[in-house]
Structure 1
Amino acid sequence: MTTIAAMMSADYGVMGDILRQRAQEGPNHPAVIMETGEAVTYAEFDALVDRVAAALQRDGIAPGEAVAVCALSSIAYAAVFLGGLRAGIAVAPIAPSSTPEAIAGMVADCGAKVFFLDAGVAEAQAPAPIAVRHIALDGSSAGDAFDAWLAPEHATPRPVTITPDHPFNIIYSSGTTGTPKGIVQSHGMRWKHVFRGDAVGYGPNAVSVLSTPLYSNTTLVCFFPTLAGGGTVVLMKKFDAGKYLELAQKHRMTHTMLVPVQYRRLMERPDFDTYDLSSTHLKFCTSAPFAAELKGEVLRRWPGGLVEYFGMTEGGGTCILIAHEHPDKLHTVGQPAPGHDIRLIDEDGVQVGPGVVGEIVGRSAATMNGYHGRPDKTAEAIWTSPEGWTFIRTGDVGRFDEQGFLTLMDRKKDMIISGGFNIYPSDLEAVLVQHPAVVEAAVVGVPSDAWGETPVAFVAVKGDADAEAIKTFVNGQVGKTQRLADVKIVDSLPRSHIGKVLKRELRDSWQGAGQV
């Protein structure tokens, strides 16, 4: 008889099979708990997943085809995701914050036969109707009721053979650099995330509190390993610092994934230190630049370890910073993960050595199949090494130190070329946040008659702050070619759903201001 230990130690496994085995070996253990208190055990969740898979098969959706989900996190959402996987169907999770036109475009692009949504999405996407069957996860009038759509109780789906290259999900890029691209991740790629779970403590006693959304890869790299390990996932629909701390304390949280802006909001709470977070084993972070000072504060004030991942939804290569083991390397994103080959290349595609800035490229077994229906974009994302190996371009610029730790500079597209000199916005942002009034800062390049481009800073501040004084503060500490042309004070920086600063919006806001 196959045991969960044997399944978890195999070179390849299927998430639907792992869930079924967990339900057999620990049927009454809590699997998913919502912030409201709604909960399902592994036996209940596995049965619900079966009903979803059987309903999808009943409706004629074949293995390899897709369904789309656009809603806030819920137990029903989680069941649709796992049910789709059990039926061999690719799941396309879509951000509700996308425009109606973008949502319609992504549903059409992935070829979804069914669209799962909630009332909030239905109201927002009305201007761009989607001509496929709608299923309302929340029982609203957004579509056919989820409970009524489900296959009958005790229904089981037909077995499906799922190979490592079989599509697991299609995650759409944020669209911050143009039209979203569908990133096809395989079952084999996801298994690499699950397989490493035991090394970081994802076992039956694990409790992961996840406040980032289920449509984000940021969340899924913790969500699936927690369930595969037999632990409990606590889901929040939206992040609220106070509610998060209450849940972490109440459920004796062991693991969590947060983006940097969430860590900052937690650290800013006057009552943070009053919560009992002593059960925390590991905290993870990814998706956006994580300031060294903030990492240090998290390490000082929050029990348990801190691990930062640097990588892409597309996969390729990942760097890992085990911050609690390397407190002198907090300014970096760590070293390449085991089995990951990460290199730096110059503008001509030639590899550069330690201390030299270059674009980050990577290869590993955890790599996307490609961009859905976009072989041209897939080809653009590839760099081929002199050995003939395929690497994924990250579009990020960085440099390795002598110990092999990677310092992340900027997005390649965000680098400013002023008078022939390369200016890295991150260098200026690091100086800006040293000003006592500056809470957060972003620097972008704007048109300049004299220099082609010149840097302008957008800052959120506390109290009374003078933009000219901030500019003087920065320009007195940087080289002549790096000096800011202007500082604009804003209420807050525009961010994506996973905390990335939307620099394109800042550049667009500069339009009409003329050249500097």
Structure 2
Amino acid sequence: MTTIASMMSADYGVMGDILRLRTAENPDHPAIIMESGEAVTYRQFDALVDRVAAALQRDGIKPGEAVAVCALSSIPYTAVFLGGLRAGVAVAPIAPSSTPEAIAGMVADCGAKLYFLDAGVAEAQTPAPVPVRLIALDGSGAGEAFDAWLAPEGAQPTLVEIAPEAAFNIIYSSGTTGTPKGIVQSHGMRWKHVFRGDAVGYGPTAVTLLSTPLYSNTTLVVFFPTLAGGGTVILMKKFDAGRYLDLAQTHRMTHTMLVPVQYRRLMERPDFDSYDLSTTHLKFCTSAPFAAHLKADVLKRWPGGLVEYFGMTEGGGTCILMAHEHPDKLHTVGRPAPGHDIRLIDEEGVQVGPGVVGEIVGRSAGMMNGYHGQPGKTAEATWISPEGERFIRTGDVGRFDEDGFLTLMDRKKDMIISGGFNIYPSDLEAEIVRHEAVAEAAVVGVPSDAWGETPVAFVALKAGTSATAEEIRTFVNGRVGKTQRIAEVHLVDALPRSHIGKVLKRELRDSWQAQSKL
């Protein structure tokens, strides 16, 4: 007989099976609680997942085929995800913030047989209807009602054998630099995330608060391990700093995943220290650069450990910084995770050593199968080592120190070449935020007749402060080398960001170009 202990220690398992075992162990324990208070126990959730899986099989959707979901977080959303997995169906979660045309393209690209959505998405995508069967998760007029579509209560799906290489989900890249690419992640890759959950405390007493969306790998790397561990997930539809702190205190949160801009907004609240966050065990961060001074503030004022992950949705290699254990390494993203091979290569694809800047490539058991239907793009993202092993190219530039900690410099495409010198925007951004009036900054390279490219900064000020663009430019240029000097500073209300907090530098370049033509 399979037990939880044996499954959680196995090299491979599937989420549908571990969910059923957790249900048998503690059926009345809360599995998912929405911000609104709506909740399901493991017994209720497992039964709902069965009904979804049975409905998919009833509709003739075969293992290996796909369904798409585009909606805000909800209990039906999570049931569709887990139900799809139980039926061996790949799930393609899509960001509602995408354009109608992009959504239609992604639904078509993954070959979805069903498309689950909510009223908000339906209203936004009117210009580009999706020609597949629509199911409304919220019971709205966006499609067939979810409750009516479900298989009857008590329905049991046919058991499906799921191989490690089978597609678990297809997550689409943000598309901020072109057409979104479908990143196919396997059941074997996802199991590696679950497998390491015990080491970070994802047990039955875990309470994980998530405000990032379910269509983001940022969320899924903690969502699935929490359920696999038998814990409780608290879901917010959208992030609000005050509401987040209320929920963390009320539910006695133990784990959370936040992106850097969310940490900043929380720490800036005047009432942050009045909340009781003493039950926090671990806080996680990923997806965007996390400033060393902000990490230090989180460590000082927020109980529990702080863990930063550096990696890609595509997988490959991951670096982990246990910030609470290495307070002298907060400027880094940590060391390669156990079993992960992280290397740096130069422009010719030749590996470079410690202290030398290079593009980061990684290899591990958790790697994507490839980009869905795009073998050429998959090949572009691949580096083959001298030993003949496959690595994923990150497009990020970094440097290892003598202790094996990786300092992340920038995206390779964001590096500025000015007068033949390489300029890393992150170096300049770190100096800009030292100004007492600056809340955040982003530096991009723009065309220059004299130098080829020159750095331009976009700066948002802290509330209640003031400074002119020229004051900030003078401040920074007095602190950096001659070749790094900033040509212009533009004050903005806020930096444009993706749904997971990444600064959209292409939008800043486009903004500069538009202004320069005026």
Compute the TM-score of the two structures, normalised by the length of structure 1.
0.99
What letter corresponds to residue 74 of structure 1 in structure 2? S
Rounded to whole Å, the distance in 2 between the matches of 1:153 and 1:389 is 49
Specify which of 450, 469, 474 is matched with residue 472 of structure 1.
474
Rounded to whole Å, the distance in 1 between the matches of 2:255 and 2:437 is 33
Rounded to whole Å, the distance in 2 between the matches of 1:363 and 1:92 is 24
Q: How many residues align?
A: 515
Rounded to whole Å, the distance in 1 between the matches of 2:426 and 2:509 is 16
Is 1:506 the equivalent of 2:508?
Answer: yes
Match in the other structure for 1:265: 265
Any stretches of 5+ residues in structure 2 without a counterpart?
none
Rounded to whole Å, the distance in 2 between the matches of 1:464 and 1:359 is 38
User: Could you list the per-position Cα deviations for residues 238-268 of structure 1 after superposition, in whole angstroms to 9, with x for gaps in the alignment?
Assistant: 0000110111111110000000000000000
SS in 2 for 1:239: coil
SS in 2 for 1:512: helix
Rounded to whole Å, the distance in 2 between the matches of 1:457 and 1:514 is 14
Is 1:44 the equivalent of 2:75?
Answer: no
Match in the other structure for 1:188: 188
| Residue pairs, 1:362-401, within 5 angstroms | 362-401=362-401
Match in the other structure for 1:13: 13
Match in the other structure for 2:452: 452
| Residue pairs, 1:3-402, within 5 angstroms | 3-402=3-402
Any stretches of 5+ residues in structure 1 without a counterpart?
none
After TM superposition, give the deviation of residue 374 of structure 1 in Å: 0.2
User: Could you list the per-position Cα deviations for residues 204-248 of structure 1 after superposition, in whole angstroms to 9, with x for gaps in the alignment?
Assistant: 000000000000000000000000000000000000001101111
User: Could you list the per-position Cα deviations for residues 47-70 of structure 1 after superposition, in whole angstroms to 9, with x for gaps in the alignment?
Assistant: 000000000111111100000000
Rounded to whole Å, the distance in 1 between the matches of 2:515 and 2:425 is 20
After TM superposition, give the deviation of residue 410 of structure 1 in Å: 0.1
SS in 1 for 2:317: coil
Query: 4+ residue stretches of structure 1 with deviation over 4 A?
Result: none
SS in 2 for 1:494: coil
Match in the other structure for 1:496: 498
Rounded to whole Å, the distance in 1 between the matches of 2:515 and 2:176 is 22
SS in 1 for 2:514: coil
SS in 2 for 1:404: coil
User: Could you list the per-position Cα deviations for residues 288-320 of structure 1 after superposition, in whole angstroms to 9, with x for gaps in the alignment?
Assistant: 000000000000000000000000000000000
What letter corresponds to residue 259 of structure 1 in structure 2? V
After TM superposition, give the deviation of residue 109 of structure 1 in Å: 0.3
After TM superposition, give the deviation of residue 339 of structure 1 in Å: 0.1
Identity of aligned residues (%): 85
What letter corresponds to residue 60 of structure 1 in structure 2? G
Q: Tell me how large the CA RMSD over aligned residues is.
A: 0.7
SS in 2 for 1:474: helix
Rounded to whole Å, the distance in 2 between the matches of 1:2 and 1:420 is 62
Match in the other structure for 2:425: 425
What letter corresponds to residue 408 of structure 1 in structure 2? L
User: Could you list the per-position Cα deviations for residues 128-158 of structure 1 after superposition, in whole angstroms to 9, with x for gaps in the alignment?
Assistant: 0000011000111111000000000000111
What letter corresponds to residue 499 of structure 1 in structure 2? G
Rounded to whole Å, the distance in 2 between the matches of 1:299 and 1:441 is 23
After TM superposition, give the deviation of residue 512 of structure 1 in Å: 3.4
After TM superposition, give the deviation of residue 177 of structure 1 in Å: 1.6
After TM superposition, give the deviation of residue 510 of structure 1 in Å: 1.1
SS in 2 for 1:63: coil
Match in the other structure for 1:484: 486
Compute the TM-score of the two structures, normalised by the length of structure 2.
0.99
SS in 2 for 1:113: strand
Rounded to whole Å, the distance in 1 between the matches of 2:419 and 2:383 is 29
Is 1:403 the equivalent of 2:403?
Answer: yes
Rounded to whole Å, the distance in 1 between the matches of 2:497 and 2:450 is 31
Rounded to whole Å, the distance in 1 between the matches of 2:361 and 2:466 is 43
Rounded to whole Å, the distance in 2 between the matches of 1:178 and 1:320 is 29
